[in-house]
Structure 1
Amino acid sequence: MKRYLFHRLLALLPVLLVVSVVVFCLIHLAPGDPALVILGNDASPQDIAALRQQMGLDRPLLVQFVSWFGEILTGDLGHSLFLNTSVMSLFLQHLTPTLALALYAQFIALLLGLAGGVVSAWQHGSMTDRVIRMLATFGMSVPGFLLGLFLIFFFAVQLRWFPVVGYRSTNDDFWLNVWYLTLPAIALGLRIAALIARMTRAVMLDVMQEPFINTARAKGVPERLVLLRHTLQNSLIPILTICGESFASLVTGTIVIESVFGIPGVGSLIVDSIERRDVTVIQGVVLLITVCYVLINLAVDLLSYLADPRLSVDGGEK
């Protein structure tokens, strides 16, 4: 276990290197000059050149990249060119809304996805099964931002049950925070719920064909216990895997939903940084998001091992 953890954490270095190269090239080769954005269009060429030299933007790209990546290895992600704050501080300030939204969306996805998948597998071939599969297909097809706009129009503008946009901290009022996050969490979580429902149904139908299920039924075990204790319990590993991967995608993919609902999370930080060409923040935040994604998937592997010790941590069976 310790050796596996060490190798997985060591594998972060090439991932960080590849991501950093791609992000660095995309940002620095894109049109737009941060010095010009800071000083404005009325600035003289001499002032712009002086600021570029002060920020180190006049150096060759390779020298800039080596210097920046060396600082990353020491844990220094740099400072914002506009806000005079460290990138790590900005990331942590905006992480709480993103995590709150992702956790709420994951709760909705698990609640609807597991319930829908179990019922669909139980009622296999019935009208209920067909309706659930149709809803799952619809949920996976509709883009999150479009669903978010529909939810805003219907539930916020027409019915006035929820606020249109905005965010309230959990430090102010927990239930007020839940109220503000309900619509964006639904818009973000329904697609994941559809994915979990389809995965749960498929895995449970496969398990239902196993001999031990027929043996349990032949012994007179009630169908409810066969479904929940034998079928669902033996389907947990792939379901747990898809849930973990979906949570990683929720944490790293809230940019559009946060922009639609005006939530000051990591996604909004990236959008604002792109608009003002704050290259240091963009580079650092994208790297941190990549690290979060890898660590969440590592946690899923370990949870799968704890759920079924017969599995080795590298994904095979002992």
Structure 2
Amino acid sequence: MRGFLFHRLLALLPVLFVVSIVVFCLVHLAPGDPVLVILGNDASPGDIAALRQQMGLDQPIMVQFLHWFGAVLRGDLGHSLFLDTSVMGLFLQHLTPTLALALYAQLIALTLGLAGGVVSAWQHGRFTDRAIRALATLGMSVPGFLLGLFLIFVFAVQLRWFPVVGYRSTNNDLLLNLWYLTLPAVALGFRIAALIARMTRAVMLDVLQENFINTARAKGVPERLVLLRHTLKNALIPILTICGESFAGLVTGTIVIESVFGIPGVGSLIVDSIERRDVTVIQGVVLMITVCYVLINLAVDLLSYFADPRLSVEGAES
């Protein structure tokens, strides 16, 4: 186990190093000068040169990268050029709404996806199976922002069951927070639910063809237990992988949904930082998002390692 974890962590280092190079280059080679954004186009050349020297932008790009990456290794992501606060503090402040939205969306996706996949496999070839597959295809096809606008129009504007936009902290009222997050969570999680449903159906249909399933049925095991205890349990590994990857995608891909529903998460922070050309925030937040994505995938690998004894044996042998 320790060897497996050590090799997985060791493999993450070159990935994060390459990502840091790409992020730094994309931000600094993009059009636009943060100095002009701060001072305005009417600033004098002397003021521009002084601020560029103060920010270290007058140095070669390689020197700038080495200074920035050295600070990152010490846990210092820098300070915002406009908000006069640390990038790490901004990231943690905006991470709470994003995590709350991602967890709620993942819960909805798991509930709908697993239930839909199990029922579809159980009713294989029947009308219910075809209806669930059609709904899953629709869920895979409709963009999240379009579904979000539809949900706002129907359930917020017409029926007035939910607020149009906004966010409430969990410190005030958990139910109020869930009420505000329901529509964006559905819009974000519906596509993931469709993916989980299709994967669950496909894997369960394969497991249902195994001999031990026929043996369980021959022994008189109720169909409900055959589906849940024998079939679904043996189909959890690929489903777990899909859930982990989808959750990592939810955490890192909420930019559009947060913009549509006015949620002050990490996505909104990135959009605002791009608009004001706050390069230190863009670099630091994108790098932290990548770290979160990589760590979530590592956690999924560890869960799969524990869930499947065959992986444990292979890891011990290697």
**Could you say which residue in structure 1 is the equivalent of 2:31?**
31
Cα deviation, residue 312, structure 1: 2.5
Cα deviation, residue 315, structure 1: 7.7
> Aligned equivalents of 1:193 and 1:316: distance in 2?
35
> Aligned equivalents of 2:97 and 2:200: distance in 1?
29
Alignment of 1:92-107 (within 5 A): 92-107=92-107
**Could you say which residue in structure 1 is the equivalent of 2:5?**
5
Cα deviation, residue 29, structure 1: 1.1
Aligned-partner residue type, residue 94 of structure 1: H
**Could you say which residue in structure 2 is the equivalent of 1:50?**
50
Cα deviation, residue 306, structure 1: 2.2
Cα deviation, residue 17, structure 1: 1.4
**Could you say which residue in structure 2 is the equivalent of 1:225?**
225
**Could you say which residue in structure 1 is the equivalent of 2:197?**
197
> Aligned equivalents of 2:176 and 2:118: distance in 1?
32
> Aligned equivalents of 1:139 and 1:163: distance in 2?
23
**TM-score, reference length from structure 1:** 0.97
Aligned-partner residue type, residue 250 of structure 2: L
**Could you say which residue in structure 1 is the equivalent of 2:115?**
115
Asked whether the 8 Å contact 1:168–1:176 carries over to 2, the reply is yes
CA separation of 1:291 and 1:154: change in aligned 2, threshold 3 A: same
**TM-score, reference length from structure 2:** 0.97
**Could you say which residue in structure 2 is the equivalent of 1:40?**
40
> Aligned equivalents of 1:172 and 1:260: distance in 2?
23
**Could you say which residue in structure 1 is the equivalent of 2:170?**
170
Aligned-partner residue type, residue 49 of structure 2: A
> Aligned equivalents of 1:169 and 1:71: distance in 2?
32
RMSD between superposed Cα atoms in Å: 1.5
Asked whether the 8 Å contact 1:273–1:279 carries over to 2, the reply is yes
Structure 2 gap ranges (5+): none
Asked whether the 8 Å contact 2:140–2:195 carries over to 1, the reply is yes
> Aligned equivalents of 1:91 and 1:317: distance in 2?
41
> Aligned equivalents of 1:278 and 1:148: distance in 2?
29
Asked whether the 8 Å contact 2:306–2:312 carries over to 1, the reply is no
CA separation of 1:33 and 1:253: change in aligned 2, threshold 3 A: same
Asked whether the 8 Å contact 2:156–2:163 carries over to 1, the reply is yes
| Residue 268 of structure 2 corresponds to residue 236 of structure 1 | no
**Could you say which residue in structure 2 is the equivalent of 1:216?**
216
SS of 1:171 mapped into structure 2: coil
Question: Could you give the per-residue CA deviations for residues 138-182 of structure 1, whole angstroms, max 9, x where no partner exists?
Answer: 001111111111111111111111111100000011111000000
Cα deviation, residue 203, structure 1: 0.3
What percentage of aligned pairs have identical amino acids?
87
SS of 1:215 mapped into structure 2: helix
Aligned-partner residue type, residue 6 of structure 1: F
SS of 2:311 mapped into structure 1: coil
Asked whether the 8 Å contact 1:207–1:231 carries over to 2, the reply is yes
**Could you say which residue in structure 2 is the equivalent of 1:297?**
297
Cα deviation, residue 314, structure 1: 7.1
Asked whether the 8 Å contact 1:302–1:313 carries over to 2, the reply is no
Asked whether the 8 Å contact 1:305–1:313 carries over to 2, the reply is no
Aligned-partner residue type, residue 67 of structure 1: H
> Aligned equivalents of 1:254 and 1:313: distance in 2?
38
> Aligned equivalents of 2:66 and 2:276: distance in 1?
24
**Could you say which residue in structure 1 is the equivalent of 2:131?**
131
Cα deviation, residue 86, structure 1: 0.9
